[in-house]
């Protein structure tokens, strides 16, 4: 299967990768819905929502501060680095991520489409301006916006919130024109991100899924690797190098 996919990659001009929390799992960042899931003690909809923040901003900041602390101590894993190689394979390569941990950028990929924002950004809950001057937030005394006085919140997209329109529009444009689309480390449950691989497939892309567990996407995939991304992606890089005789 690896050889076949390597051959398809060689024949493809436009490659797109969508990643989810699974690609950061081997870096030590807990996924959302796994057994070590971030949301074990809370349900996602309870904390990652505007209502939760308005009801108890301190609790929400405690959770984000815990995640920021955890992410500040982890590093990209071989899966993140392998994706940097994908840039060399395609005339047009796009990385779309649902992750907010910034690990793709740390691994060296710059132009990334971040669907759900970035956990290290602080924005105003009122006017949504970014305040880069504030780094740490004290849940007991939450910093406020210099422009309108409203509280600062993490710069991520919460449930029930719109994704950045320019980012989601560009993501669908890239997915719909992809020759080959990789869905890596995502449970394919959260919309509208989960609709991207389907849109790619519907527009003629070869769909490759890499995930140790099956997902709602697995039945639709042309190739499904039941594997960890940190192991499989480097193997795919090696197979492409072999294919290129290099
Ligand atoms: C919106 C940022 C509307 C915050 C996140 C019913 C049906 C369809 C949709 C909905 C519905 N009810 C509600 C909705 C909408 C909702 C949604 O999709 N809910 C789901 C739960 C059903 N979506 C929204 O609310 C979105 N907004 O719809 O707005 C709207 C429209 C118009 C006008 C106004 C409003 C907003 C969604 C964004 C939410 N924000 N994150 C934060 O991080 O704190 S989502 C959150 O889940 C993360 O970003 C995460 O990336 C994302 C998706 O999860 P995954 O990345 O897939 O992670 P997960 O743990 O689920 O899976 C990990 C996978 O990795 C597993 O499959 C595992 O097997 C695998 N894995 C594990 N180890 C490895 C591995 N894979 C590879 N290698 C390994 N080593
Ligand atoms: Zn403001």
Tally of CA atoms within 13 A in the half-sphere of 78 that contains its CB: 11
CATH topology classification for 30-73+118-156: SIR2/SIRT2 'Small Domain' (3.30.1600)
- How far is the CA of 71 from the CAs of 6, 59, 94, 99, in angstroms? 32, 18, 24, 11
Which pLDDT tens digit goes with each residue over 125-144?
Answer: 999 999 988 889 999 999 99
Spatial contact of 107 and 139, defined as CB atoms under 8 Å apart: no
| CATH 3.40.1530.20 correct for 2-28+75-116+163-245 | no
Burial class (CB in 10 A: 0-12, 13-18, 19+), 165: exposed
Which pLDDT tens digit goes with each residue over 65-104?
Answer: 989 999 999 999 999 999 999 999 999 999 999 999 999 9
Spatial contact of 176 and 154, defined as CB atoms under 8 Å apart: no
- Residues annotated as catalytic (active site), given as ranges: 116
Q: What is the mean pLDDT of each run of 10 residues along the chain (246 residues)?
A: 96 98 95 71 79 94 91 97 95 97 96 96 96 91 96 96 97 98 97 98 98 98 98 97 81
Mutate to test the pocket of ligand 1, among 61, 159, 167, 230 (most ligand atoms within 8 A of CB): 159
Spatial contact of 8 and 206, defined as CB atoms under 8 Å apart: yes
Spatial contact of 206 and 179, defined as CB atoms under 8 Å apart: yes
**Cα-to-centroid distance, 131 and ligand 2 (Å):** 9
Question: Which pLDDT value is given to residue 34?
Answer: 72
Q: Where in the chain is the domain with CATH 3.30.1600.10?
A: 30-73+118-156
Mutate to test the pocket of ligand 1, among 185, 189, 196, 209 (most ligand atoms within 8 A of CB): 185
């Amino acid at each position: 299967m690896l050889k076949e996919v390597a051959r398809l990659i060689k024949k493809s001009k436009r490659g797109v990768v969508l990643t989810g929390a699974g690609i950061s799992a081997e870096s030590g960042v807990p996924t959302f819905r796994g057994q070590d899931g971030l949301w074990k003690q809370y349900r996602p909809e309870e904390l990652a929502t505007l209502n939760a923040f308005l009801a108890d901003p301190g609790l929400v900041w405690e959770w984000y501060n815990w995640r920021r602390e955890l992410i500040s101590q982890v590093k990209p894993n071989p899966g993140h680095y392998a994706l940097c190689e994908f840039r060399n394979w395609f005339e047009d390569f796009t990385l779309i991520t649902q992750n907010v941990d910034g690990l793709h950028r740390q691994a060296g990929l710059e132009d990334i489409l971040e669907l759900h924002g970035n956990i290290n950004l602080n924005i105003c809950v009122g006017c949504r301006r970014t305040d880069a001057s504030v780094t740490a937030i004290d849940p007991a005394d939450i910093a406020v916006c210099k422009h309108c006085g409203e509280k600062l919140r993490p710069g991520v997209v919460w449930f029930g919130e719109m994704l950045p329109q320019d980012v989601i529009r560009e993501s669908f444009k890239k997915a719909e024109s992809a020759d080959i689309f990789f869905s890596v480390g995502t449970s394919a449950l959260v919309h509208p991100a989960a609709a991207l691989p389907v849109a790619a497939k519907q527009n003629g892309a070869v769909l490759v899924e890499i995930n140790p567990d099956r997902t709602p996407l697995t039945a639709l995939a042309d190739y499904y690797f039941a594997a960890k991304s940190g192991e499989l992606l480097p193997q795919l890089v090696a197979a492409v190098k072999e294919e290129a005789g290099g």
